[in-house]
């Protein structure tokens, strides 16, 4: 029987970032397994034009940079730090597997292997090619790195019925099928739909020929406030805006409007109050491009796509000849209920700091390597569920700030965070003499305690 210290279920960004830091901080052996044929998780099934919506500078695993921190020189994100394409993310994770994990001699990856269960130090996995079941001896812990598994267009099943005769495609088929169509109906209000609409506009499609089904509106975060390194003043300034608005807002709507007034949050249609918030980033240039699409269908959720007709909860819409309906309704991040991260023989990876999925997984690797008592490790790692609404956003901000205070009080964790490339505030300490950084840090410090007390009341 194979044995390992840690069996990590899921070799996506989270499993890899956790393994990378655990290997660097301990002498543990790890075995990563995944149903997929290669490491990289959902990125392996993403549509061809997907890219990070955050900078590459603070994405990936701690021990290996992603990209070269170049500044984008043209397009709708000019002046911002580079954002890797999906293909670049996949290639990077392959390099991580070979040159960081397996090169250590203490990590192995088993592809096409599905976790079944785990009892008393023995885990069962099924090799999906052969169907063979194998037992693995686990000396320390099973790490669930698929608890917040993303639901992505290539693998999700739409929640509505689709007639086989309807002209319908998931976003991944858009580049191949767009040329055969004259009009487009995009279903979904989140990042995937944004990507589809921007792709169509970039392909030269007249905005008049795009209809967009948006049952609800979303608040987006201005990407300008998420730029690290030489532009880290943008991040601390954005955090100061969040804290100041949190300290002064009278209601959740007021909180969002204050954040909109300072350019932190953005919405496509200023006449409609958004009820969704997922932390998705957009640039101002992307926002103004999206605003060209003014044929928005607001008739609730789609119930079915039929040949010539779209049925929605509040009415029907005709689908003209030559029109392709594009599904962009996959949910993306999972909203799994929070559970304690560290248990006797399991670790369930979850969000800690918002907007930082790989930072969180790596920090949990560090905490696992250096802590020995589950209660103390859980004290340092309170789960912070992903947000879907402005209410969740308020709760999520609060939990992040409470955790940050805990981490600042723990010298080894504080040091790790300061030096981690995954820390979006990396390099802040070096730039404290910069007047803009200093002023923003002061404003954050002035308001954060009041915001932490006040936001839970609003939420």
Q: Which residue is nearest to ligand FAD (CB)?
A: 41
CB 353 within 8 A of CB 360: yes
> Nearest approach, Cβ of 115 to ligand FAD (angstroms)?
4
Give the separation between CA 287 and CA 126, rounded to whole angstroms: 46
**β-pair partners for 281:** 221
Sheet holding 168-170, edge to edge: 168-170, 323-327, 183-187, 210-213, 296-297
In the complex with ligand FAD, the residue whose CB is nearer, 13 or 305, is 13
Residue 395 CA to its chain's centroid (Å): 17
In the complex with ligand FAD, the residue whose CB is nearer, 15 or 183, is 15
Give the separation between CA 382 and CA 362, rounded to whole angstroms: 15
At 298 the three-state DSSP class reads: coil
Give the separation between CA 6 and CA 8, rounded to whole angstroms: 6
Binding marks (x or -) toward ligand FAD, 97..136, rule CB under 6 A? -----------------xx---------------------
In the complex with ligand FAD, the residue whose CB is nearer, 323 or 350, is 350
In the complex with ligand FAD, the residue whose CB is nearer, 185 or 193, is 193
> Nearest approach, Cβ of 53 to ligand FAD (angstroms)?
4
Binding residue for ligand FAD (CB under 6 A) from 188, 238, 357, 371?
357
Binding residue for ligand FAD (CB under 6 A) from 57, 150, 363, 393?
150
Tell me phi and psi for residue 51, to 5 degrees: -150, 165
Binding residue for ligand FAD (CB under 6 A) from 149, 217, 241, 368?
149
In the complex with ligand FAD, the residue whose CB is nearer, 10 or 426, is 10
> Nearest approach, Cβ of 172 to ligand FAD (angstroms)?
11
In the complex with ligand FAD, the residue whose CB is nearer, 25 or 34, is 34
Give the separation between CA 310 and CA 185, rounded to whole angstroms: 10
Binding marks (x or -) toward ligand FAD, 308..347, rule CB under 6 A? ------------------------xx--------------
**β-pair partners for 325:** 168, 185
> Nearest approach, Cβ of 242 to ligand FAD (angstroms)?
17
CB 22 within 8 A of CB 361: no
Residue that is written with structure tokens 């004290």 in the block: 379
Query: Restricting to residues 33-62, which ones interact with ligand FAD according to CB under 6 A?
Result: 33-36, 41-42, 46, 50, 52-54, 59
Residue 12 CA to its chain's centroid (Å): 12
DSSP string of 113-175?
Answer: EEEEEEETTEEEEEETTT--EEEEEEEEEEEE--TTPPB-TTT---SSEE-TTS-EEEGGGHH
Contacts of 104 (CB under 8 A, 6+ apart): 23
- Kindly report the length of the chain: 459
Site size toward ligand FAD (CB under 6 A) is: 29
Report if residue 80 touches ligand FAD, rule: CB under 6 A.
no
Binding marks (x or -) toward ligand FAD, 1..40, rule CB under 6 A? --------xx-xxxx-----------------xxxx----
> Nearest approach, Cβ of 263 to ligand FAD (angstroms)?
20
Binding region for ligand FAD (CB under 6 A): 9-10, 12-15, 33-36, 41-42, 46, 50, 52-54, 59, 114-115, 145-146, 148-150, 152, 332-333, 357
């Amino acid at each position: 029987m194979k044995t390992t210290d840690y069996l990590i279920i899921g070799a996506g960004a989270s499993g890899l970032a956790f393994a990378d830091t655990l290997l660097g901080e301990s002498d543990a052996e790890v075995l990563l397994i995944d149903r997929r044929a290669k490491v990289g998780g959902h990125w392996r099934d993403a549509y061809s034009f997907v890219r990070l919506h955050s900078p590459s500078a603070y994405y990936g695993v701690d021990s290996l940079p992603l990209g070269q921190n170049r500044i984008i020189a043209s397009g709708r994100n000019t002046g911002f730090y580079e954002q890797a394409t999906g293909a670049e993310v996949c290639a990077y994770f392959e390099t991580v597997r070979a040159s960081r994990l397996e090169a250590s001699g203490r990590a192995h990856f088993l592809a096409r292997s599905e976790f079944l269960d785990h009892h008393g130090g023995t885990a069962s996995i099924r090799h999906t090619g052969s169907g063979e079941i194998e037992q693995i001896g686990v000396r320390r812990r099973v790490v669930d790195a698929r608890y917040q598994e993303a639901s992505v267009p290539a693998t999700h099943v739409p929640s509505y019925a689709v007639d086989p005769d309807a002209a319908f495609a998931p976003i991944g088929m858009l580049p191949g099928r767009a040329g055969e169509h004259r009009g487009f109906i995009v279903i979904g209000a989140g990042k995937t739909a944004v990507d589809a609409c921007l792709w169509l506009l970039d392909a030269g499609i007249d905005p008049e020929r795009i209809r967009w089904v948006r049952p609800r509106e979303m608040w987006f975060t201005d990407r300008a406030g998420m730029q690290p390194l030489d532009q880290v003043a943008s991040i601390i300034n954005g955090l100061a805006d969040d804290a100041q608005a949190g300290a002064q807002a009278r209601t959740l709507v007021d909180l969002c409007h204050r954040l909109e007034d300072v350019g932190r949050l953005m919405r496509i249609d200023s006449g409609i109050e958004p009820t969704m918030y997922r932390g998705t980033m957009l640039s101002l240039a992307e926002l103004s491009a999206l605003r060209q699409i003014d044929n928005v269908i607001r008739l609730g959720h789609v119930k079915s796509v039929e040949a010539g007709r779209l049925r929605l909860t509040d009415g029907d819409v005709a689908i003209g000849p030559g029109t392709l309906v594009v599904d962009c309704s996959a949910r993306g991040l999972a909203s799994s209920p929070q559970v304690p991260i560290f248990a006797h023989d399991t670790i369930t990876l979850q969000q800690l700091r918002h907007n930082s999925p790989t930072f969180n997984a790596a920090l949990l690797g560090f905490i696992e390597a250096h802590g020995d008592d589950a209660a103390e490790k859980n004290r340092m790692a309170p789960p912070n569920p992903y947000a879907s609404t402005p209410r969740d956003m308020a709760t999520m901000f609060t939990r992040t700030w409470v955790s940050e205070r805990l981490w600042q009080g723990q010298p080894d964790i504080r040091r790790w965070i300061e030096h981690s490339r995954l820390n979006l505030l990396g390099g802040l300490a070096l730039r404290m003499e910069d007047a803009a950084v200093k002023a923003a840090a002061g404003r954050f410090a002035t308001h954060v305690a009041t915001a932490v007390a006040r936001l839970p009341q609003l939420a």
